[in-house]
Amino acid sequence: MRPHILDLDGALAGQPVLMGACAAAGGHVVAARDLAPRLRLQAQRAALATLGGRLAAPAPGDIYFYGSGDFHHLTLLLVERLEQPVSIIHFDNHPDWVRVPASVNCGSWVARALELRQVLRVVTIGPGRADMAAPQLKGADMASVRTGRLEIHPFASQATFYAGPAFETASAEGDPGIGRCGLRWHGLSDRDFMIRMADVADRLPDGPLWITLDKDVLTQREAVTNWDQGQLTLEQVLDAIALFAEHRPILGMDVCGDYSPEGALGPWRTFLAFCDRAQRPVPEAAGHAVNQAANLRILRHMGDLLS
């Protein structure tokens, strides 16, 4: 395992035990606060390219921590650098599957990743109810859901209107009870979580995995984020990763979802933040302590898996 700290927003620099643990494991820090204003929420291509130039060449066992979920689209940068076919296991309270606009932002990176030839499948685990209602009205990449390249496993079951053809996937089924324009998402809470994860693991394409974890999928007891939060526990997430590792090799992982003040965003990013979520004023010291504990558990778990 080779840990990397991308210092974009200071969220990780405020976690000294994590920083020390990464250094002891042979990791290093990539200074990137100068790029953060052009990367937060929506990335400028030039800033992405500059950050990519500061990263070491990818190697099996890489794990990246990079602060707020406002930067979750950096997963795309990390996966783009991989040459072999890969499936992405995506833990998140939001599906991040919007097709338009055709930019790289924290709500669209999954759709952008599915445009990459090397991405075999994206499996999204844990989204909340709001994002799963009437997905076609929100620009969701339903074409990839229909073909099976995108699986969505929300936390709770939900029936919703869907203006498209009836279809079935592992995570969503056209429900005869609500007609051809209806869609029913089958939630993780309806069945034993690990049984559902075993079903996902059994159907993974041949090839290695990239794991991406936005800690907003976790309860508020285990993470303090800039976003509304989900209902999974960190133990569930780590158990699922261990299960997937029994079926396919893990190339690497990235972790975000650490609270940080958003600062001055400029007019456009301020508008995006207003549309997507309210700023959450959280005492920094308390937030750092909760997130550091979660990050240390993740680091130890992945060290055991990848050693």
- Is there a contact between 127 and 154 (Cβ–Cβ < 8 Å)? yes
pLDDT average, residue stretch 119-143: 91
Q: What is the pLDDT of residues 211-255, one digit of tens each?
A: 999 999 999 999 999 888 999 999 999 999 999 999 999 999 999
- pLDDT at position 273 is 59
pLDDT of the residue at 278: 59
Q: What is the mean pLDDT of the chain?
A: 89
Report whether CATH 2.60.40.10 matches the domain 2-306: no
Q: How far apart are CA 292 and CA 135, in angstroms?
A: 34
Given a cut of 50, is residue 170 above it in pLDDT? no
Per-residue model confidence (pLDDT) at position 160 = 84
DSSP secondary structure of 92-140: -SS---B--SSSEETTTHHHHHTTSTTEEEEEEE---HHHHSSGGGGTB
166-113-194-168 Cα dihedral, nearest 10 degrees: 10
| Lowest-pLDDT range of 67-81, 178-192, 204-218, 289-303 | 178-192
Interior CA angle at 134 toward 185 and 153, to 5°?
A: 25
Q: What is the pLDDT of residues 174-211, one digit of tens each?
A: 554 444 567 888 899 888 999 999 999 999 999 999 99
Q: How far is CA 296 from CA 53, 77, 121, 164, 166, in A?
A: 27, 24, 28, 44, 44
Position 161 scores a pLDDT of 77
Give the mean pLDDT of 164-174: 53
Q: Is the pLDDT of residue 57 over 50?
A: yes
pTM, full prediction: 0.92
Spatial distance between the Cα atoms of 63 and 295, rounded to a whole number of angstroms: 11
Helix H or strand E encompassing 252: strand 250-256
The answer to whether residue 146 scores a pLDDT higher than 90 is no
pLDDT level of residue 21 (50, 70, 90 thresholds) = very high
pLDDT above 80: residue 98: yes
Q: What pLDDT sits at residue 269?
A: 58
Q: What is the CA radius of gyration of the chain?
A: 18
Most confident of 103-107, 130-134, 213-217: 213-217
- Residue 102 — pLDDT band, cuts 50, 70, 90? confident
User: How is the chain split into domains, by residue range?
Assistant: 2-306
Predicted pLDDT of residue 305 = 92
Tokens of 248: 């396919």
Q: Which helix (H) or strand (E) holds 50?
A: helix 45-54
Q: Which residues in 13-118 belong to E strands, given as ranges?
A: 28-31, 42-43, 62-65, 86-91, 104-105
CA nearest 163: which of 147, 174, 148?
Answer: 174
Task: Compute the C-alpha angle 290/278/144, nearest 5°.
Answer: 90
Give the span between the Cα atoms of 244 and 40, in whole angstroms: 30
Distance of CA 233 to the CA centre of its chain: 15
- Residue 123 phi/psi, 5-degree rounding, is -115, 115
pLDDT band at 277 (very low <50, low <70, confident <90, very high): low
- The predicted model gives 265-287 an average pLDDT of 65
